[in-house]
A = this chain, B = another copy of it.
Amino acid sequence: MAGGEKKKTNAGGGGGGKKKEVKKETGLGLSYKKDENFGEWYSEVVVNGEMIEYYDISGCYILRPWTMAIWEIMQTFFDAEIKKMKIKNCYFPLFVSPAVLQKEKDHIEGFAPEVAWVTKSGESELEVPIAIRPTSETVMYPYYSKWIRGHRDLPLRLNQWCNVVRWEFSNPTPFIRSREFLWQEGHTAFATKEEADEEVLEILELYRRIYEEFLAIPVVKGKKSELEKFAGGLYTTSVEAFIPNTGRGVQGATSHCLGQNFAKMFEINFENEKGEKAMVWQNSWAYSTRTIGVMVMVHGDDKGLVLPPKVASVQVIVVPVPYKDADTQGILDACTATVNTLNEAGIRAEADFRDNYSPGWKYSHWEMKGVPLRIEIGPKDLANGQVRAVRRDNAAKQDIPRANLVEQVKELLESIQQSLFDAAKEKRDACIEIVRTWDEFVEALGKRKLILAPWCDEEEVEKDVKSKTKGEMGAAKTLCSPFDQPELPEGTLCFASGKPAKKWTYWGRSY
């Protein structure tokens, strides 16, 4: 498991005024290597890259501005897309009363062990303990029942951006598994199953785009097994990412069709066009700050974070490289002009003019923070009317005539975005192993592979695989059955049960 809980007492890092203790304080360089000690590397890189600060309550983390800027860029995209779909934002309370929370039995069984309870205010005991939302199905649906009367009230499509709390005790990891996290949760109700089914996939496609187009991370779209689906729902679709270093899958985001289970419990009925009483079909869907942790894990390297240009709050950092006898003012002016030109073209660029750090220190600092492109301007560049551009992803250097600045920087940023995706996909694909027998499965699991296997789709068989693979590393389970199914010739048998296989399914350990 990556990122064991550690209190970093000395890992603020990166700001000015700490020159004396550079190595220790500013995170110039990491103590751990990604390939050698992934967990420690991850904890260190999120702190030294100034994304996270560890907090004095275990499992809670401070999201620093470097993180929030990424979250806001994804939020701006997703919020605009769902508004186009006529989904509206709302805000329901943080608190749930126990009676309502417990209304849907399967659902509460799934969440009960993780629910945090408020029992006191000031010095007074509350009459009834109040739960903090782990998710908002039971918070919202009593009101859906009230608001929905006739077919004209449908569809009802709401979303909220909020915090939720799941008081888990195992292995907290920044972004990936935390006791409080930020997310959006969409909750929709339709007259027909067809409309609900359609929306499930439309939302899933937006989640794919967040991962693939924004975070440059390849994901598999698919359906969760009965064992792994959302507690109380009908079926769950997800985008699944994979972390090659740990050989673990990670559920990237989920889009659930809840069917009519919640509608039954919360009596969400309506009069249909024929004047008959009918029950709504519901969906819920969410993505969280976990997305950012997956990004760090997939792209980061031994120099620090590597941010895809589309989500980087600073896409280009401009560093002046003055020499003793050079025209320092001319260099500084060229840096300012470069930033201005890039900003005017809509590129997020900044200059680092701090005079108490050397250019070399600044290179390392901004590499740690993962800025996609560095531009250096020294006396020779000034003389030649050019700048030097250095890519974060592959360290490639290139001289750019200032006359072509915007055009070439744009190309470079696009190229970095694409290269990051391609490299991540190549690494992910190299981990995929197709297995057909139990022995092959065990061997592949030992090699930390993303396993694609023919499966009979029986819940008991998945339980059996889980119990047989239990161990220090955690059990194997299904990740998803990909929508994009390879051919399954008749007579193919399940790798685990030997019964006829019904589908190809991804298996592995997961976060």
User: Which A residues are closer than 8 A to B by beta carbons?
Assistant: 12, 15-18, 25, 53, 55-57, 60-65, 67-69, 72, 88-97, 100, 112-123, 129-130, 132, 142-143, 146-153, 158, 162-163, 165, 167, 179-180, 182, 270-271, 354, 356
CA distance A446 to B354 in the complex (A): 62
> Is A16 touching B153 in the complex (CB atoms < 8 A)?
yes
Q: How far is the CB of A357 from chain B (nearest CB, A)?
A: 10
Residues of B contacting A158 in the complex (Cβ-Cβ under 8 angstroms): 65
Residues of B contacting A146 in the complex (Cβ-Cβ under 8 angstroms): 12, 53
Residues of B contacting A56 in the complex (Cβ-Cβ under 8 angstroms): 97, 100, 142
Q: How far is the CB of A491 from chain B (nearest CB, A)?
A: 47
Residues of B contacting A93 in the complex (Cβ-Cβ under 8 angstroms): 55, 57, 60-62, 180
Q: How far is the CB of A482 from chain B (nearest CB, A)?
A: 34
> Is B65 touching A151 in the complex (CB atoms < 8 A)?
no
> Is B182 touching A356 in the complex (CB atoms < 8 A)?
no
CA distance A148 to B18 in the complex (A): 10
Q: Could you list some 6 contacts between A and B, CB below 8 A?
A: A53-B143, A57-B96, A63-B91, A63-B92, A116-B120, A152-B354
Decide yes or no: A57 and B119 within 8 Å by CB, A17-B150, A68-B89 being known contacts: no
Q: How far is the CB of A140 from chain B (nearest CB, A)?
A: 8
CA distance A162 to B63 in the complex (A): 13
Partner of A118, one of B62, B91, B100, B132: B132
CA distance A167 to B179 in the complex (A): 22
Give the oligomeric copy count.
Answer: 2
Q: How far is the CB of A288 from chain B (nearest CB, A)?
A: 12
Decide yes or no: A119 and B121 within 8 Å by CB, A89-B72, A93-B180 being known contacts: no
> Is B180 touching A95 in the complex (CB atoms < 8 A)?
yes
Decide yes or no: A118 and B116 within 8 Å by CB, A16-B152, A180-B95 being known contacts: yes
Decide yes or no: A115 and B121 within 8 Å by CB, A57-B130, A88-B65 being known contacts: yes
CA distance A61 to B95 in the complex (A): 10
Decide yes or no: A163 and B94 within 8 Å by CB, A68-B88, A147-B15 being known contacts: yes
Q: CB-nearest residue of chain B relative to A92? A: B62
Q: CB-nearest residue of chain B relative to A19? A: B150
Q: CB-nearest residue of chain B relative to A63? A: B91
Q: How far is the CB of A50 from chain B (nearest CB, A)?
A: 9
Decide yes or no: A270 and B152 within 8 Å by CB, A57-B95, A90-B68, A143-B62 being known contacts: no
> Is A115 touching B119 in the complex (CB atoms < 8 A)?
no
Q: CB-nearest residue of chain B relative to A60? A: B93
Residues of B contacting A18 in the complex (Cβ-Cβ under 8 angstroms): 149-150
Given contacts A62-B90, A63-B92, 13 further A-B contacts (CB under 8 A): A16-B153, A53-B146, A55-B92, A57-B95, A57-B130, A62-B92, A64-B90, A67-B90, A68-B89, A114-B122, A115-B122, A121-B167, A152-B354
The 8 A-B residue pairs whose C-beta atoms are closest, nearest first, are A17-B150, A16-B152, A121-B167, A65-B88, A60-B93, A63-B91, A117-B120, A113-B122
> Is A57 touching B97 in the complex (CB atoms < 8 A)?
yes
CA distance A67 to B88 in the complex (A): 11
